[in-house]
Amino acid sequence: MEVFLSVEGLGKYFKDKKVLHDISFEVRTGEIMAVLGPNGAGKTTTIRNIMGIIYPDEGTITFHRFNGKGIPRHKIGYLPEERGLYKNVKVMDILLYLADLKDYPLQKAKERISAYLKKFDLEGKEKVKIEELSKGMAQKVQFIAAVLHEPELLILDEPFSGLDPVSQEIFKEEIRSLARQGTSILLSSHQMNLVEAICDRVFMIQKGQKVVYGTLDDVKTQYANFKCVIKGKNNWDHLKNIPSVRRIEEKPDGAVLYLEKDVQPAKWVKHLPDDLNINEMTIDRISLHEIFIDIATDKKLIGEEVSPDE
Amino acid sequence: MNKTMKVAKWEIKRNLKNKSFLISLFLTPLIFIIFAFIGNLVDGSEDAESLTTVYIHDELGAFPLLEETAKQLELDFDLKKTSVAESEVKDKLKDSEYTAYIFLTKEGLDSGVFPVYTSEEMEPYFEAQIQAFSESIKSVHIGQLGLSEEQLREILKPFVFKQISADELDENGQVHAGDPETEKENLLKKAVPAAFAGIILFSIVITSMMIFTSASQEKKDKIAEIILSSVTTDELMQGKIVGYFVLGMIQALVILVFAIPFVIYQFDIPVLEYLLVPETLLFVFISVLGYLLFAAIFVGIGSTMADISTAGNFQGFIMLLPFLPLFFIGPVIDNPSGLAAQIASYIPFSSPAILIMRLAMLEEWPWLEIAISLAILVISVWLFMKLAGKIFKVGILLYGKNATPQEIWKWIRA
């Protein structure tokens, strides 16, 4: 896949404090790349550097098809983390203005606005003022503003925050479909489990530093051990004697067994005692969030207080 | 530049679709005119009230002459003969106002003092006004001495001193013909373009304050980041400045559309004739510079504030800068070429308004001062645009909080 955007050795200071350390990653054409990390990790700062809204103190940002010409603003769609639109303006007016600023033909914009409003269940809201919309509806309008001009690169900062599950699904589906059509997508989120389902590659960040970077599959095979969730009442001692278990987490209706690295699930299952009470059982890799916490803890980027072992 | 114009167009369209802007657009000239009308009404009613009834107890036969004098000097007196005696005056005056009794008696002629009894409520200048009667009494007195008409005229001829300043003399040492009609016309020739410029300055300074709201609103609505994903901060700032300039001109136009017919109808001045002179261009140029200066200041300050109600002293102080000329109006009217006037023309925040005022009042334009003042203004505009650009760039993205002066200073130095 062609590389659309490269970030190399990005560093940024706020006052005397270094908030980004040597951040490097790429976004390729037609992929969904996720920058993941908790609040305050440096995701938005990274994105603002890419957008040229603030300027990096170190490192370079390259848009490969537009080399040497700065930021190709009209080819980028951007949904900032801080959501906002002019309050006392009609939906159609603001969307047309934003499309016009991207030099997108107005007639085409009008058609696309109508189509998107329909898709997002906002049909007939063209002449409604932003302040009369619910928060979720306004967020949909902002999303439309970001994708309206058919950007080649779509940057979404926390696209799912504040959305109800139904709207989250609509957004996810739309993001997937845009990527299939060849749009490069860079999104950030602190809700890792939400993003896990759609992204191709991840860049995990904590305290302005890289935690892990790679394709979702690679990260998972490299770091995600298996966990076995058992529903059904069992004796603690009984569970403790099962081999290759790193730790056990008791739940009201059962237990979660975190397995050691390199465990082969098929083999491991055979070692389960015959008299184990199992109503339901799943074997799964641990989630991105759990991986993030594991690695960040190992790299001393997270204090003991949030460590998963507690 | 293209993006700048798009932003400008948007700001214009957005405001023209906004009801409160439209209302204030038409309310401003209406308020002007309503106040002008009320002013006229109040003036007229005061005139009617100030008519003073003056009763003359005339033992000298001076009444006809006094009547003539009052008419000549356009005194608001209603002169009446009376036979009321001095002892009855107190009762007569008890419940009356704007009333006076003058006793022209033989004793008065001998002592040189005529008693005047007045009601409690009187015109403030009454005592000064009736001094004009002393000449008439004197002529009656002299007439009784049996002198001829010619001798009378010679004796009564007044002597006055007339001041003539050097600039009123022409090359031959002759005084310019000081025809009052042409003097009035000269004044109007300057005053009309100045008033025109004043209206433009007023309108665009008011709209430059709207820039403040616009920038601060952008910060409050958190939309700046979306806009900045399409345009640079410079384009956004310039777009706002251009947009509100046009809105200011629209405001000026609306005021003029109301004001010009009003002035022509009310005062019968051929406004348009006086307006189409080269001076108007200079006045408008000064106004535009004034606008650019305040626009730069307000767009910069607006970008540092999310909420005007929590503004610190620093920002509040800057908001008051456009009102600086008010402090100088008094001294400048007293002496348009005095020191205060000169200083005010060199301070960029007051110079546009003060310069326009002075140029309207001065007969001879001090070209050197104008040039220095304009140079200071142009440099200030350039400087403040630079500063505003730096502040705007950082400030507009600092959502939900007001910047401190220290922070602003840091951005300027960055």
Distance separating alpha carbons of residues A222 and A236, to the nearest angstrom: 30
User: Could you tell me how far CA B226 lies from the centroid of its own chain?
Assistant: 45
Distance separating alpha carbons of residues B316 and B310, to the nearest angstrom: 10
| ipTM for the complex shown | 0.77
Q: Does B7 touch chain A (CB under 8 A)?
A: yes
Distance separating alpha carbons of residues A114 and A223, to the nearest angstrom: 45
Q: Compute the average pLDDT of residues A181-202.
A: 88
Q: Compute the average pLDDT of residues B213-222.
A: 81
pTM above the 0.95 mark? Answer: no
B19 to chain A: nearest residue by CA? A88
B11 to chain A: nearest residue by CA? A97
Predicted pLDDT of residue A304: 43
What does the block give as tokens for A188?
């950030």
Lowest mean pLDDT among B166-175, B197-206, B244-253, B362-371: B166-175
Q: Tell me whether residues A80 and B18 touch, CB distance under 8 A.
A: no
Distance separating alpha carbons of residues A146 and A98, to the nearest angstrom: 9
Q: Compute the average pLDDT of residues B142-150.
A: 76
Q: Any long-range contacts for B276-280 (C-beta under 8 Å, 24+ apart)?
A: B277/B189, B277/B193, B279/B189, B279/B190, B279/B193, B279/B359, B280/B193, B280/B196, B280/B197
Of B226, B232, B399, the CB nearest to A78: B226
pLDDT over 70 at A28, yes or no: yes
| Alpha helix ranges (H) inside B303-366 | 313-319, 325-334, 339-346, 351-361
DSSP class per residue in B151-213 = HHHHHH---------GGGB-TTSPBP---HHHHHHHHHHHHHHHHHHHHHHHHHHHHHHHHHH
**A76 to chain B: which residues are within 8 Å by CB?**
229
**B234 to chain A: which residues are within 8 Å by CB?**
none
**How many other CB atoms are there within 10 angstroms of residue B34's CB atom?**
11
Q: Tell me whether residues B397 and A98 touch, CB distance under 8 A.
A: no
Of A51, A84, A100, the CB nearest to B221: A84
Q: Tell me whether residues A101 and B227 touch, CB distance under 8 A.
A: yes
**A83 to chain B: which residues are within 8 Å by CB?**
222
pLDDT over 80 at A58, yes or no: yes
* Chain B nearest CA to A15, separation (Å): 10
pLDDT mean across residues, chain A: 86
* Chain A nearest CA to B188, separation (Å): 45
Predicted pLDDT of residue A110: 92
pLDDT mean across residues, chain B: 80
Of B18, B221, B228, the CB nearest to A85: B221
Strand B99-104 to strand B52-58: parallel, antiparallel, or no bridges (unpaired)?
parallel
Q: Compute the average pLDDT of residues B359-380.
A: 87
Of B222, B226, B397, the CB nearest to A98: B226
Q: CA nearest A25: which of A224, A215, A223?
A: A215
pLDDT over 60 at B46, yes or no: no
| Alpha helix ranges (H) inside chain A | 43-50, 91-101, 106-119, 135-147, 165-180, 192-196, 216-223, 236-240, 265-269, 288-298
Is B299 within 8 Å of B241 (Cβ atoms)? yes
pLDDT tens for each residue of A59-115: 888 888 776 667 888 889 999 888 888 888 899 999 999 999 988 999 999 999 999
Q: Does B390 touch chain A (CB under 8 A)?
A: no
> What is the helix (H) or strand (E) element at residue A59, kind and residue range?
strand A58-63
Q: How many residues does chain B have?
A: 414
Q: Does B22 touch chain A (CB under 8 A)?
A: no
**B3 to chain A: which residues are within 8 Å by CB?**
101
Only one residue has tokens 């040597």, namely A22
Q: Does B404 touch chain A (CB under 8 A)?
A: no
Quote the Cα angle for B291-B292-B295, to 5°: 80
pLDDT tens for each residue of B102-141: 888 888 888 888 888 888 888 777 888 888 888 788 777 7
Q: Does B401 touch chain A (CB under 8 A)?
A: no
pLDDT tens for each residue of A151-180: 999 999 988 888 888 888 889 999 999 999
